[in-house]
């Protein structure tokens, strides 16, 4: 029997179960009663209301403490001219080097807001806010959007009501086919920002993504009465700038899945051992610790970008795949009763792919240790379906099943789990090959496909570990779906 090289492990689901210990480097995922005590991961996931899936998966925290992201603080005047050869938290003022006239942000003591008590509303946000306690709201007269093929995302700033000064970076997303609802939210946000700034500034909407072109006229017509200026920016450049901000400007934004200890580990890009130890302020040392890396951005499709440095032009799209989030969404829209991507992820979390996938053990009755294949490795995704439907029932017209009857022979949850594995493992393998091609040690996965979903993260992590024989890790971001929108906000100001 000849196997396809996409044979992968049939890993099991992770559960988030309360734990009384605040273990260092353990990401906690709050449960339905909003308990923020630490949580470990085991093999059985509880049933979760689909309305809360994003909030539950996104509100991950290491501890309730919000430590300083830097050792010293300078003036909070973000208009000050800070000279630096590298985008970083250096001098507390974040500036990227991908274009001139950038939007600077004071990131002194910046942190992800993990404590639920610091939110003033009942509905949890799509992604945790980021607090910038030393940046002032009167410096903000922009909002930014990233309209993709499946989702429209927005980054906007509000005054932090928990602090005398300071702002919150807020995140919002909605399906792109609900563009009218998205525009209404934009108008509401612009109106509130105008009021906060006493109508002193013209508001700029910085737009990126394919939808910034497709819906440009619609946005212009809808926002004219607000005297809002629309500024379009390049999608790929915004993506890299947003990535740069999150991994160098925000502490504990990055995390990975530790398979050995069955837990998530949050890391700080400037301090963690996966980077070279930085013992001075030498910008060359900082550059070598962050770059190069491969960014795998998974949206409707997949783009893989090699990033070699912090300056303009230091990135290149080296590959991708048409099999991405849109593929999974499309197939499960036909094969299941789910009405949203979040429902599909929840369904996949509770499925058993062994009922539809053909495993190595199904063929050999055991592992194939000689070539490193375990009995629970997947030999063929959805490989049992044909035998179950055709071999047993459709050999003659009398027993032939209708399409509905065929679907009813399988649990929708099992199908969802199988297809999630198929798409994710395929992306993971291609990402590994691109990293090998360019000798890149770090592989970051981002994009709205991931949704901080446990099984997706674990699947991509296993794929990288499997193909690299444990030499590489898959890294993820807490705000993985907002790279483009965040990068758009930080782009050049029109002069």
Note the pLDDT tens digit of each residue in 250-295: 988 999 999 888 899 988 655 544 444 333 344 454 555 789 999 9
386 vs 80: which has the higher pLDDT: 386
492 vs 36: which has the higher pLDDT: 492
Phi-psi region of 92 (alpha: psi -120 to 50; beta: other; left: phi over 0): left
CB neighbours of residue 95 within 10 Å: 22
Note the pLDDT tens digit of each residue in 464-495: 999 999 999 999 999 999 999 999 999 876 65
Contact 103, 140 (CB under 8 A): no
Residue 314 has pLDDT above 70, yes or no: yes
pLDDT, average across residues 49-59:
33
pLDDT of res. 271: 54
Task: Give the list of residues 6+ apart from residue 404 with CB closer than 8 angstroms, or none.
Answer: none
CB neighbours of residue 216 within 10 Å: 14
Q: Round the average pLDDT of the chain to a whole number and report it.
A: 77
Q: How would you list the strands of the sheet with 254-258, edge to edge?
A: 263-267, 254-258, 473-477, 442-446, 293-298, 302-307, 315-321
CA distances from 477 to 9, 247, 303, 414, 457 (A): 24, 8, 16, 28, 10
Residue 41 has pLDDT above 70, yes or no: no
d(CA 283, CA 271): 15
pLDDT, average across residues 445-473:
92
pLDDT of res. 396: 62
d(CA 19, CA 269): 27
* Torsion angles phi and psi, residue 230, rounded to 5: -105, 125
d(CA 27, CA 262): 11
pLDDT of res. 131: 93
d(CA 336, CA 408): 10
Residue 452 has pLDDT above 80, yes or no: yes
pLDDT, average across residues 303-320:
94
d(CA 303, CA 142): 27
d(CA 464, CA 429): 7
Note the pLDDT tens digit of each residue in 238-254: 999 999 999 988 988 99
d(CA 459, CA 454): 9
């Amino acid at each position: 029997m000849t196997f396809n090289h996409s044979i992968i492990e049939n890993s099991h689901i992770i559960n988030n179960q309360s734990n009384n210990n605040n273990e260092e480097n353990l990401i906690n995922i709050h449960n339905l009663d909003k308990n923020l005590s630490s949580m470990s991961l085991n093999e059985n996931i509880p049933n979760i209301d689909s309305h809360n899936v994003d909030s539950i998966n996104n509100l991950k925290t290491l501890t309730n403490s919000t430590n300083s992201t830097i050792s010293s603080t300078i003036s909070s005047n973000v208009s000050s001219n800070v000279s630096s050869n590298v985008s970083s938290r250096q001098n507390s003022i974040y500036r990227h080097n991908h274009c001139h006239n950038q939007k600077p942000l004071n990131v002194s003591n910046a942190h992800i807001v993990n404590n639920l008590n610091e939110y003033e509303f009942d509905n949890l946000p799509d992604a945790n806010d980021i607090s910038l306690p030393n940046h002032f709201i009167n410096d903000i007269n922009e909002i930014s959007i990233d309209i993709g093929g499946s989702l429209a995302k927005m980054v906007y700033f509000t005054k932090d009501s928990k602090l005398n000064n300071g702002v919150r970076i807020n995140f919002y997303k909605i399906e792109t086919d609900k563009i009218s609802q998205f525009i209404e939210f934009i108008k509401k946000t612009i109106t509130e920002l105008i009021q906060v700034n006493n109508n002193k500034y013209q508001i700029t909407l910085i737009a990126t993504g394919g939808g910034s072109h497709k819906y440009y006229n619609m946005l212009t017509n809808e926002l004219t009465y607000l005297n809002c200026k629309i500024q379009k920016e390049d999608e790929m450049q915004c993506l890299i700038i947003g990535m740069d901000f999150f991994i160098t400007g925000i502490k504990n934004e990055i995390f990975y899945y530790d398979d050995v200890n069955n837990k998530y580990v949050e890391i700080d890009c400037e301090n963690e051992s996966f980077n070279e130890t930085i013992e001075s302020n030498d910008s060359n040392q900082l550059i070598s610790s962050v770059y190069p890396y491969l960014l795998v951005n998974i949206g409707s499709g997949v783009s893989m970008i090699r990033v070699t440095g912090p300056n303009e032009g230091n990135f290149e799209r080296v590959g991708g795949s048409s099999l991405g989030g849109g593929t999974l969404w499309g197939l499960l829209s036909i094969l299941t009763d789910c009405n949203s991507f979040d429902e599909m992820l929840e369904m996949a979390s509770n499925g058993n792919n062994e009922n539809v996938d053909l495993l190595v053990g199904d063929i050999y009755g055991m592992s194939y240790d000689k070539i490193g294949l375990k009995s629970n490795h997947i030999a063929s995704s959805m490989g049992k379906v044909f035998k179950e439907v055709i071999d047993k029932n459709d050999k003659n017209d009398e027993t032939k099943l209708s399409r509905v009857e065929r679907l009813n022979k399988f649990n929708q949850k099992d199908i969802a789990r199988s297809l999630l594995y198929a798409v994710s493992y395929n992306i993971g393998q291609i990402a590994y090959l691109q990293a090998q091609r360019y000798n890149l040690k770090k592989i970051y996965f981002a994009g709205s496909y991931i949704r901080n979903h446990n099984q997706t993260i674990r699947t991509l992590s296993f794929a990288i570990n499997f193909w690299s024989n444990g030499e590489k890790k898959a890294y993820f971001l807490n705000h993985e779906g907002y790279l483009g929108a965040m990068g758009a906000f930080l782009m050049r100001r029109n002069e």
